[in-house]
Amino acid sequence: MNTIFSGIQPSGDLTLGNYLGALKNFIPFQDTHECYYCVVNQHAITVPQEPAQLHARTTELAAIYLAAGLDPNKATLFVQSEVPEHALLGWVMITTSYVGEMERMTQYKDKARKQGDSIPLGLMTYPPLMAADILLYQADLVPVGEDQRQHMEITRTLAERFNYRYGEVFTVPEMWAPKGGARVMSLQEPTKKMSKSDDNRTATIYLLDETDDIVRKIKRAQTDSESVIRYDKENKPGVSNLLSIHAAISGKSFAELERDYDGQGYGTLKKDVADLVVGELEPIRRRYHELVGSPELGRILDEGRDKAHAKASVTYRKAVEAMGLYR
Ligand code: AMP
Ligand code: TRP
């Protein structure tokens, strides 16, 4: 059975973008693949975090994974910092990386710019840690949103470089991105991606938003003055974003949607998108509130940690033996 690995940072409230671009697509794989899904809290600390908040968000994110449909009997759910091999192989991957290739990473450049004069070094060594996450499980496939493409390419480069130097230790993973929801855009500035860290909360639908908020935000979404419902990312980014959200949930193609909405106004489209999003998120929100404080969640994470550790330690041992680090 092929292996899947993916992770989400517990660094803010999860958005509809995280859900349609990543989380929702994790679920079907659990029936066909050996799956490892991780709360990557060591990635979150590449920028300063308040400890109590990080602690709370870690279990909240685990509850969200389960509420979205992750079944702990099928997939392994765990917290990155509880499996020490991530940091250990992360160091190995740092020593396999070049400064130049890390400086060229778009996410590094974006995040570094926001940090002023004191850029945490971890922002630059973020991709080798991500590579370690994936390679420890010998993952074949990594479901992520489109924004992670560059990180996936560097992961493949590091795996190939390591294998070339020390022998075939790691599986070189492929990225898997969904067609429709790979990049959900801001509702207010639809040329920017919908982001956890947007200051304008009207621009973002959060996974745990109440129904009224979801409806209000979609009603206020930016469109254009043409009044034609057509997918055209370049000239009609707002309408195209609503169509992609629709498609990602309804499973319809853009051509089908254009036909369905022929001659209709933006109000109708917004109402339908709001209904779809509410229908999708409402049960997740309900299950989340049942799970978040429950003792069951702790047990699931303990078991996940042990299963993840069993696999990760085998790969780590192979890697350090190949490098001459193991006596
Ligand atoms: P992050 O919020 O950076 O931890 O991202 C977690 C996952 O959500 C990654 O797989 C991202 O690619 C995905 N993601 C984040 N924002 C979006 C978005 N606006 N549209 C689609 N996918 C996204
Ligand atoms: N970099 C990813 C993000 O920001 C999170 C992440 C860390 C990840 N390690 C990973 C995703 C391993 C997939 C696989 O979204």
Domain ranges of the chain: 3-181+293-323, 201-288
Say if residue 150's pLDDT is above 70. yes
Say if residue 248's pLDDT is above 90. yes
Domain 3-181+293-323 has CATH 3.40.50.620: yes
The pLDDT of 143-164, averaged and rounded, is 96
Residues having CB closer than 6 A to ligand 1 are 8-9, 17-18, 21-22, 144-145, 147-148, 181-184, 193-194, 196
Rounded to whole angstroms, the Cα distance separating 194 from 180 reads 14
The sign one gets for the Cα dihedral 65, 182, 144, 127 is negative
- Specify the range with the lowest mean pLDDT, choosing from 56-70, 78-92, 181-195, 203-217: 181-195
pLDDT of residue 287: 97
Q: Read off the amino acid at residue 59.
A: T
Atom of ligand 2 at shortest range from CA of 43: 7
Say if residue 182's pLDDT is above 90. no
Centre of ligand 2 to C-alpha 212, Å, is 31
10: Cβ below 6 Å to ligand 2?
no
Catalytic residue, chosen from 74, 196, 233, 318, is 196
Phi and psi at residue 8, to the nearest 5°:
-135, 140
Alpha-helical (H) ranges within the chain are: 16-18, 24-29, 41-44, 51-67, 85-96, 99-103, 106-113, 121-124, 126-136, 149-166, 211-219, 237-250, 254-260, 266-291, 295-323
pLDDT of residue 116: 87
Q: Mean pLDDT score of the chain, rounded to an integer?
A: 96
pLDDT of residue 183: 86
Show the CA angle centred on residue 115, arms to residues 109 and 116, nearest 5°: 105
Question: What does pTM read for this prediction?
Answer: 0.93
Nearest to 143 by CA among 15, 300, 215, 37: 37
Q: Would you tell me the crossing angle of helices 295-323 and 149-166 to the nearest 10 degrees?
A: 40
What's the CATH code, domain 201-288?
Answer: 1.10.240.10
Q: What percent of the chain has pLDDT over 90?
A: 93
Centre of ligand 1 to C-alpha 307, Å, is 26
**Residue 290: count of CB within 10 angstroms of its CB:** 12
**What is the CA 313 to chain-centroid distance, rounded?**
24
Question: pLDDT by residue (tens digit) across 265-306?
Answer: 999 999 999 999 999 999 999 999 999 989 999 999 999 999
